Amino acid sequence: MKYRFPLTVFLILSMVSVLGCKTTDVAPNSQHDVTFPYMETDHEWDKKYSDAPYVFLLADNITEVQEDFSYTENIHLVMKIQNEDGMKVGEFPLNYDNSREEIKDIQAFVLTADGRKIGYSSIQDRTTQQGFAVYSDNKVKIITFPNVLIGSIIDIRYKLHHLKPIIENEFFETYYFTSQYPIKYSRRIFIAPNNMPLTIKNSDTSIEPEIVHSDKTIRYTWQAAYKNKIENENFMPPFTELSEQVSISTVADWKRLSKYGWSLFEKNLKSSSELKEAVQKIKSEIKDKRDQVQAVLEYIQNNFRYVSLNIDYHNYEPHSTDRVFYNKYGDCKDQTVLAIEMLSEIGVVAYPALISTYSDLSLRENLTPMLNYFDHVILGIEFENKINYTDLLIKGYKFWEIPSAWSGTNALLLKPGGDSFHQLTFADMKDMTTYIRQKTFLNDDASASGVFSLTFDRSTTSQLRVLMKSMTDSENKRWLSMFAAKIIPGSVITETKAVNLNETYMNLEIQIQFKQKNWAELINDMLVFGVGMADREPAFSALTRQNPIVFRQSTATEIENEYLIPEGYEVVTLPEDLAVESDFAYYKKSYRSEGQRILEKVLSGYKRSYLPANRYQDIEKYYDNLIPLTRKRVAIRKKA
């Protein structure tokens, strides 16, 4: 499931989710009024975040669960606009699932910097899937505020009624106390029947609740003040693994979730004459069972359009397979359930598997059983006594080859009797390697000509192939020309071509023929050339680090350069072989001279790893040590 929102809207939606607000209209009762002085501005926290686009002065959520597991959220948000970028909050979205939820009692206004209180201009109710309104229950109420200027305060109260639970007779939710935005004061009140079995788990927080018992209910209250924002840094874990949070669930275990998830898919397995006819055609043309399975997957990939109907709004149920087959479009759930039905027609059993696109869920032992962690569905195929995992949205892989994007991730397999987490196998390292080859003919005037070749890793190949095949011939030529100019700047490009563009299971290669003046550096009577100094990753140039460093997948770049030097020249300097390695990265460089031919090879990359923030200095030391060692280059000169 991929997000398709403009960046500013996405950030706002994320914030609403962070605050436990799903989508609806409401006004808390007077008994829930907040007494914390969140409007005061003389605290150090206010000074610290005075330049933030906006800050949350208040994030208040009161959830009350009923005996039938329906529940209501009373939500109160107060935001202060502090610069022009923050004024975008003047269009505030509240998302909800129209089939299960409703928003009521919206009270919203702007308090201007000069003290005027102005109500909202309008509330629009829209579908989030434009063009697919009948196909999706995702809705959004957009509150439009007037006079949202620097210094304004936006105040929103509403009620979100969850008319029925996601899973019958179950409740689960997570409350966040820290976010990508500063939160001055937050309160979470949770009220449930006394006899409701609850598992409550803290993560990265020491906030303890006040617990109050009554004859019929139990009430938990968590409060937090002056919370710093989570800084956005490259190579950081997902927000959900960093935030101070409390998870509440009645779900006994992951097996229960697996069984429930399967029931949603099973009831939508409905064949049709057209579907059977399509499978029969495959069976008549292909006899090998393995090839039949692959042909079914390719049929779906080539004939069904992907439509993003995100499961992150708790839309876990796919549409029926007969409907998906007729429409010829669907999201990951729809295409997965269709594959399960079509594969059953050739006698192959398959199951859906839930994964996260932002986390490998390696900390699953610490997670409370709930569906909130998952935002994507892939396919698990039983074949030759093992489960083979594949993703219908990623082309270019056979079903027994794990897509690089999901290498080693953890998936919850959905089966009739229930199941648990399974760690997917690790992709072959060669599939995650980018290969660069260059053969250069060097002239004695420092000019050169040659052939450059870049073979993309498997994942990048899949994405680029989709992009390039969507373009016209003229657009492809223009794209290749721009690519070549960026890769070999200052050169005259004589030819550029894409190799294997139409070969689904082969890596895409870009070949460039070039000529360039002053290709080598002329120093006195020597020509100097070769791969330059290693680069420090820009993300690791900061002086400090707040968050852990995560390399979710191993990566590699392999460079092989062949230099043909002019007749009458000899090698003056050939750098020594080099090998620098740590538990998170590596860099290897070697040289060989054979007459007029010099071979240079460089292999570098990151290892799959998780480093706490206090190991940032180890990354700095790695580069501080590596960069000086890679300064030396090849030097040649004419023989005396």
Integer Cα distance of 637 and 527 in angstroms: 6
pLDDT at 280: 97
Per residue in 277-316, pLDDT (tens digit) is 999 999 999 999 999 999 999 999 999 999 876 554 447 8
pLDDT band at 1 (very low <50, low <70, confident <90, very high): very low
Ramachandran angles phi, psi of 331, nearest 5°:
-90, -165
Per residue in 46-77, pLDDT (tens digit) is 999 999 999 999 999 999 999 999 999 999 99
pLDDT at 365: 75
Look at 135-144, 184-193, 204-213, 289-298 and tell me which has the smallest mean pLDDT: 135-144
Q: Which residue has the higher pLDDT, 349 or 310?
A: 349
Q: Which residue has the higher pLDDT, 8 or 420?
A: 420
Per residue in 468-485, pLDDT (tens digit) is 999 999 999 999 999 999
Per residue in 72-126, pLDDT (tens digit) is 999 999 999 999 999 999 999 999 988 899 999 999 999 999 999 999 999 999 8
pLDDT at 21: 31
E strand or H helix at 303, and its extent?
helix 289-303
Strands 329-330 and 305-306: parallel
**Percentage of the chain modeled with pLDDT above 90:** 81
Integer Cα distance of 302 and 22 in angstroms: 35
> How would you class 345 by CB atoms within 10 Å of its CB: exposed for 0-12, middle for 13-18, buried for 19 or more?
middle
pLDDT band at 206 (very low <50, low <70, confident <90, very high): confident
Q: What is the dihedral of CA 238, 242, 243, 246, to 10 degrees?
A: 100
Per residue in 222-258, pLDDT (tens digit) is 999 999 999 999 999 998 889 999 999 999 899 999 9
pLDDT at 129: 57
Integer Cα distance of 613 and 549 in angstroms: 6
pLDDT at 236: 95
